[in-house]
Structure formats: C-alpha cells, structure tokens
Amino acid sequence: MGWPKQLIVTAACAIASKKEYFCLPSGFLLIRAMSSQDIKLEVCVDSIRSAFAAEDGGASRIELCSALGEGGLTPSVGTLKVLKDSLSLPIFCMLRPRRGTDFVYDDREICAVLMDMDLLRANGADGFVFGSLNPDRSINVEHCRQVMLRSEGLPVTFHRAFDLTDQKNMHENVQLLKELGFKRILSSGFRPSAAAGADFLAQMIAKHHRDLIIMPGAGIKVPNLEEILTTTRCREFHASAMDTASEDYVAPTTTRMECDVTMGKQDIDPYYGTNPNVVRKMVTIASAMSC
C-alpha cells in the first residue's frame, strides 16, 4: 500500500529541516536511507548575505559569482574567504572575466581566468564553473583543457555557454565535455529557460546520466519546479531562489539612496538577493520527489 500524500509531504518537510528520523502514524520509523538519491539544489549567489540565505534554506551547494545582473562574473577572493570561514556548504566559483553572450575569449582573458583559478583554489574553492566557445559556437577545447589542468582535480561545471552550441550536436558535445573531464553541465536546454527546454534536458539526462550530471538552470521557480523535475528526471538543479512577488517577499538587500546618482544601469532597480524561504520551498519539493 502506498503512503498517503500528506505523509509524503510531512516526510519531505522533515528531511528539508535536516531531521533524519520521524515517526509514522502506524508506529514505524522512517529512516533517511536514500539520501544519496536526494535531488540537490545549487543556488547561485553574488553576495555574502545571499550565500547565508542559501545555507539557511537548505541548499546543497553554492555557485559563487559577482554581478548576477550581468549573468554572473568571477567573484572576489575576499568574498570567498569570508564564506569559507563561516559556511559548511561546498562553494563552486564562477570563472567569467567579463559580461557578454559570446563566451569567446582571447589569450589575455584566459590568462586572467587561470590566474583567478589559482587564487580562488588557494583560498578554498571547492570547484569551478567555466565555459568557452569558438566564434562558430563550438566548444573551445584548448581553453577547456587549460582550465581542467589548472583545476588540479577539483570538479568543474561547464556553464550555459553550452546552450549557445548547436542543439543538433548536443550528445556529441556532452560526450566531448565528459572526455575533457567536466563533471557537470549547467543548461537550460537551448532555450531561454529550463522550463522551455525541459524536453532537450530530459533527452540529455536519459542518455548521459551515468557519465556526468546535466543540471537544469535558468528561470526555475517554485511554481514550475515540480514539472521540471518530473520531465527531466534530473538529480541536481540550479536556481537563484529570488522571489519578490509572493507572500515570501523580502526587502531589497541594499539600501536605495535618495539621490540622482547611480553607479550603473543595474542600480536603477532595487537589488534583491536569495530568499531563504524560497530555497526552503524548493528543497521541500525536491525532497518529496527524490525517491
């Protein structure tokens, strides 16, 4: 006989709140025996406050960036050091030297990436996130090899530069990245959002899940999470977990100064960070679906 839906939700809430055991009405004890199969949430953050919110909400890992409004750039060593001194979560650092949707880097930019890797690795980075393309949108194998060599065994995720490659070659490109040594691919399935690209993500996960992790990301929110998880059957997903239009609304994480001076176009709008309540809801949904 299957468990009642309410019981499953109760179990998910217990798991999300980090309780290992809880009593069932029948008197049996459910043990968290399938933790290795939990669907993990990676939260992308660009501030210390957001990183703490991600941990508080129950995230499994942090992708640390700067300037999420620009798609995420390489974070500062200082930010990493502060977080490594305080958080227990693994922290993967973005390696992206500038904004732009081309991901075509020259030799000086790659030199900067490799120097950033050295500094971030020396100060506690648990992994890296990187992607580089050729002008024809194929994967830049030479740049990837340089980064993998410099990672010194730390796991590296190939980021959403993958979504700019030709979707007709998706299986060949996944295999190429596996052979290069990447452990994960962050992808929206060649579409603006993971919800729109869920079918392509499902195809890649079905074919390659034994080889490396395909991690859906882009536009994942509480209302669409269950459908994305059901369609893709992913084991990990990626979200910023910001929500400014629900009952979980939180105030902007920076103060808006009452003057006409701004430091850039992004400063015109309030800056919002990760919401721990949104993280917690996502973790609860993922926990309920993990088994």
Instruction: Quick: pLDDT tens for 238-284.
Output: 999 987 655 555 555 555 555 555 555 555 555 678 999 999 999 99
| Residue 8 Cα distances to 16, 22, 43, 77, 181, angstroms | 12, 12, 25, 42, 38
Closest to 142 measured CA to CA, from 102, 113, 170, 163: 113
Q: Which of 217, 283, 273 is CA-nearest to residue 244?
A: 273
Question: Domains (ranges, CATH) in the chain?
Answer: 40-245+270-290 (3.20.20.380)
Strand pairing partners for 139? Answer: 133
Q: Which of 91, 22, 14, 21 is nearest to 60 (CA)?
A: 91
Report, in angstroms and rounded to the nearest whole number, the Rg of the chain calculated over CA atoms.
Answer: 20
Other C-beta atoms closer than 10 Å to the C-beta of 44 total 26
The pLDDT assigned to 37 comes to 73
The predicted pLDDT at position 262 comes to 54
Task: State the Cα–Cα distance between residues 95 and 113, nearest whole angstrom.
Answer: 6
Residue spans of the chain under pLDDT 70: 1-36, 244-271, 291
What pLDDT was estimated at residue 101?
Answer: 81
Report d(CA 199, CA 217) in Å as an integer: 13
The pair of structure tokens assigned to 286 is 């993922």
Cβ partners under 8 Å of residue 192, min gap 6:
218, 219
- Cα dihedral 245, 252, 217, 126, rounded to 10, equals -150
Partners of 157 in the beta sheet?
129, 184
Q: Collapsing DSSP states into helix, strand and coil, what is residue 31?
A: strand
- The pLDDT score that the predictor gives to residue 230 is 97
pLDDT of residue 261: 56
pTM above 0.75, yes or no: yes
C-beta neighbour count of 224 within 10 angstroms: 14
Degrees (nearest 5) of the Cα angle 237, 89, 224? 20
DSSP bridge partners of 42: 61, 238
The number of CA neighbours under 13 Å toward the Cβ of 60 is 20
| Strand-pair partners of 91 | 62
Q: What are the DSSP E strand ranges found in 11-64?
A: 21-23, 29-31, 40-45, 61-64
